Amino acid sequence: MSRKHVSPNALSALYRLHARGFIAYLVGGCVRDLLLGRTPKDFDIGTDATPNQIKKLFRNCRLIGRRFRLAHLHFKNEIVEVSTFRRAGSPSDNPEPEEEGRPKRPRHIKDEEGMVLVDNVFGTPEEDALRRDFTINALAYNIADASLIDFSTGLADLNDRVIRPIGEPSVRFTEDPVRMLRAVRFAASHGFDIESAAWESICELSSTISRVPPARLYEEIQKLFLLGSARTAFRLMDKSRLLSTLFPSLGRSIDGNSRCRELLEANLAFIDQAYRSGGMALSPALFFAALFGPSLERAALVRHKEGIPRHQALDETCALFMEEISKTVSVPGRVGGRMRAILALQASLHKMPPRRPASIAGRSEFAEALAYLRIAAETKKEYKPSLEWWDTFLLEMPPIAAAEPATEKLPKKRRRRRRQKGRHVPMAPSDQEKG
């Protein structure tokens, strides 16, 4: 493994720890990705230095985590995580409760079903590797002699492109059901196979995913779907029934309707293609619109046919959906609201010729709504003329008009649309052409 592709910040941290006599390994996903020739998303370091020792060594260090203290080294463009080797704990690791004074915090807690709630015990490098989720994520790179350390079967599994839990799959997925989503994520993003016993276990335990706190699930869902392999992830989620546990109404609408599944898969394929060709991140709201839009629009149409005005029908459908989903995945209210706004603007975009187009184009959700139309037009050819109309309009529209906001109430100086650094960029026509 070449050091050339390791972040210089991570390398210097490894060298410093090593120079002070500590063990210093690169650990986890970054080793996996470096061996696969992929650029790691982040670099993690494992060491036998305690959090306080790490803090003394690095001026740019912040200790985080109440239960398990981790060190974050803050550099200009990245954070390198340094954690003390841990092991899977057991009840015997818990300190005696103090008779007087402050009770000591338990270091290991499992709930009745076997889900680990707290695991906070230092361990050896080997113990640290074996408490990780999959063999391919348990490899380490030792800076002392530039060697790779494989305490399980990580190298062989990397070679065979297999995702294999460390230990008994059902135990590991019960300890932390998020590992099921992680298995699906790596299978989708790396093109690996989930080993058969593990896959069976995922299918069996998929309903337990709802035991994970909704906020953590929201984070995982974003990682799962927003990074260029949403369609494969969707298929695996659907097959294992993780999808219908997390999003019951989506599960119901695709189960009975192959057209809806088809539209949805086409949406996701288009998003993946756009991500891959442009390396661009989709906003969560646009992604949720692409994922849930087809079934929400169908449900809203049913309501509308029952006599409820179109706009109200969509509003009510979205509100019901957000209520249902909040029990499993906590999608922030502003993301849900934005998704609804994207869907609600579609009627105005479809209308040809549109009424007051400059005002529509000035709405804050316009760019994402147009991106949604672009996605939808891939499968619904009847939307193509509207899309073309809007693309031409935008090309011809003077920039000032393009910046006109819909609301008249804003003070004048806030009227200009500002491009914010780091904001999610909705898909532009050129992305589609590239694809």
List of residues contacting Mg ion (CB under 5 A) = 29, 42
Task: Give the one residue of 42, 265, 315, 316 binding ligand ATP; rule: CB under 6 A.
Answer: 42
DSSP label at residue 136:
G
SS3 193: strand
Contact stretch for ligand ATP (CB under 6 A) within 39-47, 264-272, 327-335, 383-391: 39-47
List the catalytic residue out of 33, 48, 128, 133. Answer: 133
Token pair in block for residue 102? 């402050």
User: Are the C-beta atoms of residues 153 and 93 closer than 8 Å to each other?
Assistant: no
Within 26-87, where are the H helices?
A: 29-35, 51-57
Q: Confirm whether 42 is a catalytic residue.
A: yes
Q: Confirm whether 48 is a catalytic residue.
A: no
Site string (149-188) toward ligand ATP, x via CB under 6 A: ---------------------------x-xx---------
User: Are the C-beta atoms of residues 386 and 340 closer than 8 Å to each other?
Assistant: no
Q: Report which residue's Cβ sits closest to Mg ion.
A: 29
Amino acid at 48: D
CB of 349 to ligand ATP, least distance (A): 35
| Residue 33 C-alpha from the chain's centroid | 17
Q: Give the list of residues 6+ apart from residue 277 with CB closer than 8 angstroms, or none.
A: 431, 434, 435
User: Are the C-beta atoms of residues 282 and 225 closer than 8 Å to each other?
Assistant: no
Task: Give the one residue of 10, 17, 26, 28 binding ligand ATP; rule: CB under 6 A.
Answer: 28
Q: Confirm whether 176 is a catalytic residue.
A: no
CB of 364 to ligand ATP, least distance (A): 31
Phi, psi dihedrals of residue 164, rounded to the nearest 5°: -130, 120
Contact stretch for ligand ATP (CB under 6 A) within 16-24, 40-48, 274-282, 370-378: 40-48
Amino acid at 212: V
* Pick 171 or 302: Cβ nearer ligand ATP: 171
CB of 28 to Mg ion, least distance (A): 6
Bridge partner list, 81: 44, 72
CB of 44 to Mg ion, least distance (A): 6
Tracing tokens 């599994």 back to the chain, one arrives at 157
CB of 26 to ligand ATP, least distance (A): 11
Residues numbered 211 to 270 that lie near ligand ATP (CB under 6 A) are 223
Per DSSP, the residues of 293-354 read HHHHHHHHHHHHHTT--HHHHHHHHHHHHHHHHTTTS---HHHHHHHHHHHHHHHHHHSSSP
Task: Give the one residue of 24, 29, 268, 369 binding ligand ATP; rule: CB under 6 A.
Answer: 29
Instruction: Using CB under 6 A, list all residues that contact ligand ATP.
Output: 28-29, 41-42, 44, 132-133, 137-138, 176, 178-179, 223
Q: Which residues are catalytic?
A: 42, 44, 133
